[in-house]
Every structure is written in structure tokens, then in C-alpha cells.
Structure 1
């Protein structure tokens, strides 16, 4: 999940870090922070991960149900195709084709649903972090705040992450030292893919 969030964080970094105007007699003061790091410290981070996992599991179970239905009907078709009337056989083939198409469409929609769910959960938290960064910058006289991911060198006192965490109600001393391994939500596709729909011109077995 956290790997996916990186994309949203990068987009945020490109458009949301603001400059803060000061009078000309004040020195230039530049601070830096890491939005992704701050996000990982917030309780919302685990909540987002849990909700995405639950949503993904629901989608996966629905897809598995569709796949099981397809498999059962395919096996029944293959078992009885040789003795089926042509009209019935063609109707079964059409049904299998429709089920196959339905599975493929569901897979596409499930991926989009997961992405939309993720964005709806992450965006409000990113907005809250954005506000906290801007508030800290104004309160402490920073002219600019940049991402430390683009910083090659800088003084330790330029890191405003502890101040931002305090602003967000998180104890900086309890912050994780490093980003934990990303946890991927349950897959939204089964291990196997549906077999091809039988051709309509099957010949009866002798």
C-alpha cells in the first residue's frame, strides 16, 4: 500500500510546498521535511492500510466467486457437450463467453475501485500534513520548505519534521527511524485466469 501512496505524495510535493513571503530585511530561511515519513508516523497510516486491505479482500472474494461459477459451468459444458443439442450447446457457449467477459471487466473495475478508494483515504491526510507544514513554516519564519528527498546537504536544524509531527499531535521521539516494509493489499485477481470459451463449432464425439 505504501508504495502506491508514494505516487500521491510525489504529486503533492510537486504542487503543494509553498513559499512564505517575508520582508526584505529578513534573512532567507529554508526548511525541509519528508511528507511520506510524516504520513507513516500518523495513526491514519495504519487505518488507511487496513481499510485498503479490507476493500481489496472483498473485491478478491467477489472475483473468486465469479471464477468458480465459470469453472463449474465450463466443466459441465465439457462433460456434456458431445450429447447436447446444437441450440443448447450454442447457448452454453454464449453463456461461458459472457461469464469470461464479465470476469475480465470485473478485474479492470476492481483495480480502478482500489485506486479510487486509496485516493479518497490518502488525500485528506495529505491535505492535513500540507496545512501543518505551512503553519510550522509561518510560525518559525521559514521562507521556503522543500522535500528532503531533493536535498543533497543541509543543517540538522533545517529539518522541520519534528515540528510538523508535534503540530499533528505525534511525539517526534516515538517516530519510526525508517520506513517499514510496504504491505501490499490482497490481490484483486485469482492465481489462475479463466480458460478460453469453447469454440462454437465443436464436433460431437463418436
Structure 2
């Protein structure tokens, strides 16, 4: 048992002695991908393009929603004085309008999310190529994209972002 503990201590001691030597030769970088997707000109351009592409449909949907709300308010005011048959027909019509509006809103949201994901995927693929190029050019051994803490000495986010924004 004593021999085993001595051997374990010897191995751990050797590991601790060699670890700083290995760490000195290792070049590590860190990239904050969320910051790049939030602040880079490339990501902002993608967002602006999507906003432009979907803004007309969004305005139309808002107009339809406003019209529907007005119709509901009008029905709530006039409903109690309407004949029963007319009130039932109007409720049915409003229910159909509501279902149609919800379906159109859901379709819009799904299409917007799909296009946003496609566009972000293209930016991420470009970002990955740039990180790989920087890693090879600057001889990094390891570049991480998520960490609880990043020392500014190893943070290469700004370099990656400027390269991404200047790339064609």
C-alpha cells in the first residue's frame, strides 16, 4: 500500500512538473460567437436583408390583426342587440377570421424562422472557415468558442469579426 502511494505521488509529481512546459508551447485562442452574430456588420446586414424581405408581409398581418380586433370590438358592442341568427352567423364568421389570421401568422413565423436559420447558418459556415484560417495562419493549437471566462490575452473575437466583415 505504501509503495502504491509512493508510486502515485511520483507520477502525479512528474505530471505537475511537465504540465507547465507543455502549456508554454500550446497556443490557445477564444472566440465569442454570440458577440460576432450580434455585433458584426455581416450579421447585421443579414438581419437587415431579412427585415426588408419580410416587412411587407408583417405590416399586412398587423393590419389584418387590427381589422380583426376592430371587428371583435364592434361585435361586442352590437352583439347583444342583434337577432340570434345574425349573432350566431357573425360569431362563426369571426371564428373563421381568427383561425385564418392565426394560420397566416404561424406560416409567416415559420417561414421567417426558416430563412433566419438558413442565413445564420451561412454566416456560421463563413465564420468557421475564417476561424480555421486564422488558426492555421497564427499557428493556434486550440480555439474555443464557449467558456465561462475568457482572458483578453487569448480573446481573438475582434480579429475574427474584422476578418469576417472584410471578407467578400
The TM tier, using the shorter chain, reads: 0.5 to 0.7
Given candidates 46, 59, 62, the residue that maps to 2:60 is: 62
> Structure 1 residues 50, 85: closer, same or farther in 2, change over 3 A?
same
**Matches of residues 147-186 of structure 1 in structure 2 within 5 Å?**
147=145, 150=147, 152=149, 154=151, 156=153, 158-165=154-161, 167-168=163-164, 170=166
The alignment partner of 1:145 has SS state of strand
**Runs of 4+ residues deviating >6 angstroms:** none
Q: Distance in 2 between matches of 1:38 and 1:91?
A: 54
Query: 2:30, 2:157 within 8 Å by CA — same for their partners in 1?
Result: yes
Instruction: Give the CA RMSD over aligned residues.
Output: 3.5
What is the TM-score with the length of structure 1 in the denominator?
0.54
Structure 2: state its 5+ residue gaps.
1-24
Distance 1:81 1:54, change over 3 A: farther
Could you report, residue by residue, the CA deviation over 1:65-123 in whole angstroms, capped at 9, with x for unpaired residues?
A: 3224434544268537745472x443322111111222233333333333223212211
SS of the residue aligned with 2:29?
strand
Residue aligning to 2:123: 125
Change (3 A) 1:81 1:31: same
CA deviation vs aligned residue, 1:29-49 (integer Å, no higher than 9, x gap):
222222233345543222123
* Inter-CA distance 73–30: structure 2 relative to 1 (3 Å threshold): closer
SS of the residue 1:31 aligns to? strand
Alignment size in residue pairs? 144
**Larger fraction in helix:** 2
Taking the aligned partners of 1:53 and 1:137, their CA distance within structure 2 comes to 34
Cα offset for 1:130? 0.7
Q: Does the Cα contact within 8 Å between 2:50 and 2:116 map onto a contact in 1?
A: yes
Q: Which structure is larger by alpha-carbon Rg, 1 or 2?
A: 2
